[in-house]
Structure 1
């Protein structure tokens, strides 16, 4: 599925060149890319489409992106850096957003898969959890609930630094759509989210607990195949 290393640039954006496809999901498409105006350094580019309005980009999306850019000023060590935001019209009713992030080549799932037996030691688990909670605390302190914490959204740099990704974007591209199409997300989802009840910051702590168990077991703790099955496994 990966594109050639020659890259391509179909969007008319002459700063960022697509190198290879990282993944597709309910949220959109993510590419590994190069920043041609910054010595060709690698970046991660998330392309998402949002519904346009008669007045242009929805205010909710503008507010969300503005908040993300404000948070970037803090340069928190456990939050992936948002480097740039671009937007282009796609269809009359849609706008494509290109969110450019620092590139980190592995997530927590890959990190655990590469970990040799017998697995992570207690000190390493403690360090990872400290970094995870530090990042979550920063988001909560700025009134952001991640709502989709899972190993695929937890990145690990080559020097062992943990960074949260995909936070604060849920309202931009419609969280209900994201909730229904990716089963794996169920495994880290708090009961109140599954039951579509009111929820707040504790849902992220539930996800952290699921990740904590996975660091020890090297496999997910609660692997439901549907909303109902997930609730049954939680109650059991």
Structure 2
């Protein structure tokens, strides 16, 4: 099917302002810009001429696979860049993820995130991948840099159309851009055969290596071993990253996750589980830690915003120990001077409220566009609003495919008609569940 019939939105340079280059890759350049009409930032992936058709296919696939855990595509960019040139460029306009990727988070923390966040990331990636596979789509390049993060560190899959170009390039023995980018570290042994064509078990293997990376906070294989030819030999011989340090950290459900990880990277593709099977494990483990997720996110935000965090590299090893469940013993190698909130008081999770209902309502009205773009876990918020949301509206919200559409309906059908009291209640929930978002917007 032609691109025009599937992604009809065309976004020109006249609609965008405040351009800023934020990254580059084998496909071209990525920019951040403010959409004048929409009122929020978007990412624009500008494409090289020789890979344009392949990445437009990525846009089509992302549009087809739109869900809460896949990066949203808004349309196709056609226009000139703000560098003074006159040559028209083409690209894809997508959600801008301020937090970057899981890979960026690993670098910023110098290690793994707290267990509740690590387990949530593991589960959300599995949910997103299960959705892709249910649509008979593949990713083929699942790795930390392709798992992007919302402001509250929820996961969104990206770059699963362009990955087909990467996979083809990886099936040669030359050091291509994609090989240098590390994709080969997440490839199953059978994929090193030049005649191999990816099937679903490819993604399952990559997910196993991704889990190891999330839980360890590291890239697989040390730098001095990360040579394509050497990794190829070792992986095909059955070598995998060591789980020894991970299992020593102790956390409720960690043994099940390590077992899942090892089943996913089995050398025999037929023995690897399906993502539907993975969900049973990841969902169960995350449920055990879900009550600590807000505190874990807040702790990560404080660490990232602390100017002295990187001055204490010894703290990274203890970071994932902070939120262990009570029934699990703490590892003996933790650092004593790190604060470990065993219990979370109301004061710790819910900052005191001093604003009037009218001020809270004004905050919601003034930030509608950004709230539509950024609010996550919408149904949890709707549930907390309780009877303020009519049953018919609840069903309409739940039926929406993306979190942005859920928030849009909530704003239009409940908050618009409910007055200051309902908007104030919505504000209070956001202040509790997503405090960094509220703070960023000046609340």
TM-score (norm 2): 0.43
Encode CA deviations 1:68-87: one digit per residue, 9 max, x unaligned.
33333xxx111111111134
In the TM superposition, residue 220 of structure 1 has moved relative to its aligned partner by 1.4
Tell me how many residue pairs correspond in the alignment.
211
In structure 1, list runs of 5 or more residues that go unmatched. Answer: 1-10, 90-94
Q: Larger % of strand: which?
A: 1
Q: Structure 1's 189 and 159: CA in aligned 2 closer, same or farther, altered over 3 A?
A: same
Structure 2 matches for 1:1-236, cutoff 5 A? 13-17=13-17, 19-39=19-39, 41-51=40-50, 65-72=59-66, 76-87=67-78, 96-105=89-98, 106-115=100-109, 119-170=112-163, 176-177=168-169, 180-182=176-178, 183=180, 184-196=182-194, 197-223=196-222, 224-234=225-235, 235=237, 236=239
In the TM superposition, residue 176 of structure 1 has moved relative to its aligned partner by 3.3
SS of the aligned residue for 2:161 comes to coil
Partner Cα distance (1:65, 1:128) in 2: 23
SS of the aligned residue for 1:138 comes to helix
Partner Cα distance (2:167, 2:110) in 1: 36
Residues 170 and 184, structure 2, Cα contact 8 Å, conserved in 1: no
Residues 186 and 226, structure 1, Cα contact 8 Å, conserved in 2: no
Partner Cα distance (1:99, 1:12) in 2: 11
Partner Cα distance (2:166, 2:206) in 1: 20
Partner Cα distance (1:230, 1:111) in 2: 25
Residues 78 and 91, structure 2, Cα contact 8 Å, conserved in 1: yes
Q: Larger % of helix: which?
A: 2
In the TM superposition, residue 22 of structure 1 has moved relative to its aligned partner by 1.5
Alignment match, 1:3: none
SS of the aligned residue for 1:37 comes to coil
Encode CA deviations 1:111-168: one digit per residue, 9 max, x unaligned.
1223377x43433322111101111111111122111111111111121211111122
RMSD: 3.1
Residues 188 and 222, structure 1, Cα contact 8 Å, conserved in 2: no
SS of the aligned residue for 1:14 comes to helix
Partner Cα distance (1:67, 1:133) in 2: 18
Alignment match, 1:8: none
TM-score (norm 1): 0.76
Encode CA deviations 1:39-68: one digit per residue, 9 max, x unaligned.
2x111110113459xxxx96x776654443
Q: Structure 1's 192 and 17: CA in aligned 2 closer, same or farther, altered over 3 A?
A: farther
Residues 141 and 167, structure 2, Cα contact 8 Å, conserved in 1: no
In the TM superposition, residue 231 of structure 1 has moved relative to its aligned partner by 1.5
User: Larger deviation: 204-213 or 186-195?
Assistant: 186-195
Partner Cα distance (1:122, 1:153) in 2: 21
Which one has a bigger Cα radius of gyration? Answer: 2
User: Larger deviation: 11-20 or 122-131?
Assistant: 11-20
SS of the aligned residue for 1:134 comes to helix
Partner Cα distance (2:233, 2:70) in 1: 33
SS of the aligned residue for 2:75 comes to strand
Residues 107 and 152, structure 1, Cα contact 8 Å, conserved in 2: yes
In structure 2, list runs of 5 or more residues that go unmatched. Answer: 1-10, 81-87, 240-443
Partner Cα distance (1:215, 1:170) in 2: 20
Partner Cα distance (2:49, 2:138) in 1: 21
